[in-house]
Amino acid sequence: MSADNTRLARPERGGPTEGGYSHRQILVIMSGLMLGMFLAALDQTIVTTALTRISEDFHRLNLYNWVVTSYLLTSTVTTPLYGKISDLFGRKAIFQFAIVLFLAGSALSGLSGSMVQLILFRGVQGLGAGGLFSLALSIVGDVIPPRDRGRYQGYFGGVFGVASIVGPLAGGFLVDEASWRWVFYVNLPIGVVALFVINRVLHTDHRRRAARIDVGGALLSVGGVALLLIAVQSAGQVAHLTTTAKWAGPLGIVLIAAFIWWEGRAAEPIVPLRLFRNNAFSVASVLGLVTGAVMFGAIIFLPLYLQTVRCISPTLSGLRLLPLLIGLLFTSITSGLLISKWGRYKGFVITGTAVLSVGMYLMSLIQVDTGAVVLAAMMFVVGAGLGLFMQTLIIAVQNAISMQDMGVGTSAITFFRTLGGAVGAAVLGAVLLDQERVLQAADIAKYGKVLGTAHNFTSAMDRAFLYSVPVAVIAFGLSFLLKEVKLRTSLDRSAPPVGEGVAADQVSGGQVVA
């Protein structure tokens, strides 16, 4: 058994898989992993409906956006670090550490006595969340062969969608019925269950490799990405570039360029640049960046529209997003099952990006009086498109890279999707603010006052959605560049990494079939 193998010591009856797990054991492991991912995804959105109440309690309305930004910053910048560290020290221990850190941040956030404390403790939460996102998917890659992975991994897309949509609903309910502090306390029992399941069921025999952590690369990547996110988040709050955005953006780009230079020379790089010579990894990275921007834009603006224009409560606006969730769940699970059955995945990526492009165009047609059924159909199309390819990209990458790169490869794809979401939400937010300002100025010039606030917001939102259409179309075009590599039916852990005596498209025994 190789050093990176992860399996149960005593497989149960009932047909163990190639990796040594029975179907029932895999389901139990998956439950713990999905709970961990659910927590991280939930806290991206659950706090949004509590921000107004939190700002009123602490009398610091000017800092409310940093309650979200601090979590987004730390969870994004630590994602690739968790992948590399878990490749070196083993997935189970690092995943448990991430859960404990996330729960500590949750408890401290609920106990916060000031806005500054809450922002700091949300950052602690994010430090744990970065590991929950990437390591859950990496562990799936450890225990399930690629050919069988689709029927299990499709559920992760559903969990991400459920958490993203349930977040505002649960947050609104807890604020209305209890206190905003329960937005954070609710994580504790869920996290304890996830910790218990992983500790009892997932047994590993990982042996530490003789390698060092790339401290220089870590500092450059964290600093560069953090400054870049601070710049886009700051710019997204207003319709013009702020002083912060003007200096943080260029400096962040410089540090990221330095990180790329450093990684090409580091003995044990955080993100091995040779991975970008792998077609599946490079295409999936760009697709994740592009589609993350589109996805988070839809999730953020729709609740605002429902609450601002349609005057719907936070709780009910969460329920109105269910069609998007249903579409995502249906296609995510169905595509996963079909991938396992057929052994092909490229068609789902092409179809999914095409459907997403159509869905984003339909969203740009929303009016103040758009009927509930029509709006539900629009959201279903967007969700269906996302579900077809979000987790499919992970399967494609894990199938095409060697097992020693499983953690860093998986976490990198998660990182690019999250980074795209952060940048996209900020840019589209700036577009919305700018368009709303233009429409208000036109009203004042023509009528001497602002008319139809709801109409102005809706028109500005439509323009933001329309701007996202060509981005989705770019993703559709890029999807044709993804090469189909035959899905492996075993956990071959002896394959060399890309760039070391093997063609990029034939890593781990994969065979290009399209």
Q: How far apart are alpha carbons 73 and 233 in whole angstroms?
A: 10
The residue out of 267, 287, 303 marking a domain boundary is: 267
290 and 336 in a single domain? The answer is yes
Residue showing tokens 């870590």: 218
Question: Are the CB atoms for 411 and 79 separated by under 8 Å?
Answer: yes
φ, ψ at 22 (rounded to 5°): -80, 165
Residue 257: CB atoms within 10 A of its CB come to 12
- Report the predicted TM-score, pTM, of the whole model to 2 decimal places: 0.75
SS (H, E, C) 395-411: HHHHHHCCHHHHHHHHH
Q: How far apart are alpha carbons 298 and 284 in whole angstroms?
A: 21
Residue 13, domain member (yes or no) = no
| 208 burial level (CB within 10 Å; 0-12, 13-18, 19+) | exposed
Q: How far apart are alpha carbons 50 and 178 in whole angstroms?
A: 11
- What's the CATH number where 496 sits? 1.20.1250.20
Q: What is the pLDDT of residue 208?
A: 57
Q: Which residues contact 440 (CB under 8 A, 6 or more apart)?
A: 450, 456
485 and 361 in a single domain? The answer is yes
What distance lies between CA 127 and its chain's CA centroid?
14
Q: What is the pLDDT of residue 7?
A: 40
278 and 256 in a single domain? The answer is no
197 and 242 in a single domain? The answer is no
Is the alpha carbon torsion for 259, 263, 269, 270 positive or negative? positive
353 and 496 in a single domain? The answer is yes
Q: Please, which residues bridge with residue 512 across strands?
A: 485
Residue 33, domain member (yes or no) = yes
Q: How far apart are alpha carbons 281 and 3 in whole angstroms?
A: 24
Residue 348, domain member (yes or no) = yes
Q: How far apart are alpha carbons 50 and 168 in whole angstroms?
A: 9
Number of domains in the chain: 2
351 and 226 in a single domain? The answer is no
Each residue's pLDDT tens digit in the chain (514 positions)?
333 333 433 334 344 444 456 777 777 888 888 888 888 778 877 887 777 778 778 877 667 667 877 887 788 888 888 877 887 777 888 889 999 999 999 999 999 989 889 999 998 998 998 888 778 877 877 777 776 776 676 677 677 767 777 777 788 788 878 888 998 998 899 889 888 888 887 765 555 555 567 778 888 888 888 888 778 767 656 555 667 778 888 898 999 899 889 888 887 787 788 888 888 899 999 898 888 877 776 667 787 788 778 888 767 776 788 888 889 888 988 888 888 888 888 999 999 999 999 999 999 999 988 998 999 999 999 989 988 988 888 888 888 887 777 777 877 887 888 788 777 777 777 777 777 778 778 777 777 776 667 888 888 888 888 988 998 999 999 999 998 888 776 655 444 444 333 344 444 444 555 4
Q: How far apart are alpha carbons 332 and 392 in whole angstroms?
A: 9
Six token digits for residue 136: 């859950």
Q: How far apart are alpha carbons 403 and 496 in whole angstroms?
A: 9
Domain extent, residue 259, equals 214-267
Q: What is the pLDDT of residue 15?
A: 44
303 and 247 in a single domain? The answer is no
Type of residue numbered 88: L
Q: How far apart are alpha carbons 93 and 116 in whole angstroms?
A: 31
Helix (H) or strand (E) holding 255: helix 243-263
Residue showing tokens 């249906």: 330
Q: What is the pLDDT of residue 16?
A: 46
Question: Are the CB atoms for 311 and 441 separated by under 8 Å?
Answer: no
Six token digits for residue 62: 């000017």
What distance lies between CA 389 and its chain's CA centroid?
13
Residue 12, domain member (yes or no) = no
Q: What is the pLDDT of residue 56?
A: 79
Residue 258, domain member (yes or no) = yes
The residue out of 267, 287, 311 marking a domain boundary is: 267
| 156 burial level (CB within 10 Å; 0-12, 13-18, 19+) | buried
The residue out of 245, 267, 289 marking a domain boundary is: 267
130 and 73 in a single domain? The answer is yes
Q: How far apart are alpha carbons 413 and 400 in whole angstroms?
A: 13
Question: Are the CB atoms for 73 and 126 separated by under 8 Å?
Answer: yes
Angle in degrees, 0-180, between the axes of helices 146-177 and 23-45, rounded to the nearest 10: 40
| 337 burial level (CB within 10 Å; 0-12, 13-18, 19+) | middle
483 and 365 in a single domain? The answer is yes
263 and 189 in a single domain? The answer is no
237 and 94 in a single domain? The answer is no
343 and 458 in a single domain? The answer is yes
Residue 240, domain member (yes or no) = yes
Q: What is the pLDDT of residue 2?
A: 38
Residue 65: CB atoms within 10 A of its CB come to 16
Q: What is the pLDDT of residue 497?
A: 40
